[in-house]
Amino acid sequence: MKSVHRISLIFGGARSGKSAFAEQLASKFSEGKQEVLYLATAKAGDAEMQERIAHHRARRPAHWSTLEQSLELGAFIMAHSRADNIILVDCLTVWLSNLLFSEATDFPEVGRITPPAQFAVQRQALLDALIQAPGQIILVSNEVGMGIVPMGAVSRWFVDEAGRLNQVVAAAADNVVWVAAGLPLYFKGQPC
């Protein structure tokens, strides 16, 4: 019998193949019987992002539903997760960036960064949803902390918070996969 991973975290660097792997995993899990709901966190703010979004859309099966939610990820998961569906969230680090810049705030180049008040609320709502949601959830995230330490305070805050978010989601997940050069390495759980 195929093992079921209710929460899967797929992470890796930029253009590592993590999104494609997550999509393959969702297809495998669904076997054409379960609905896959693709939750996109990116906003098409410029031509480059529009191109990235179009690339992702072209790769996904046409019968998957795609919805966008840039801030209230936990509430979205709770509203749409069912025992008979799969939600694929792409991606947590874009969502984290959306939260950080959700208010018109000028962050200092040096010193302490104070995130918007909704940051803590939305982060906790996501973690609560991962525990409470009845369906399968696949989350894609970037690993951004393996390079040089960024110079700006807001960049350092982002790298730190992305690392903390990946850690807490990995702890809640029963399947954690690192993808590099399109190849998966299972840190937690086993291949399906």
In the numeric block, the tokens 């929460």 are attached to: 7
Amino acid at 96: L
CA distance readout (Å), 74 to 92, 127, 131, 146, 168: 11, 7, 10, 27, 14
Please list the active-site residues: 56
Say how many residues make up the chain. Answer: 192
Amino acid at 67: L
Cα angle 76, 82, 85; round to 5: 100
Report d(CA 59, CA 10) in Å as an integer: 17
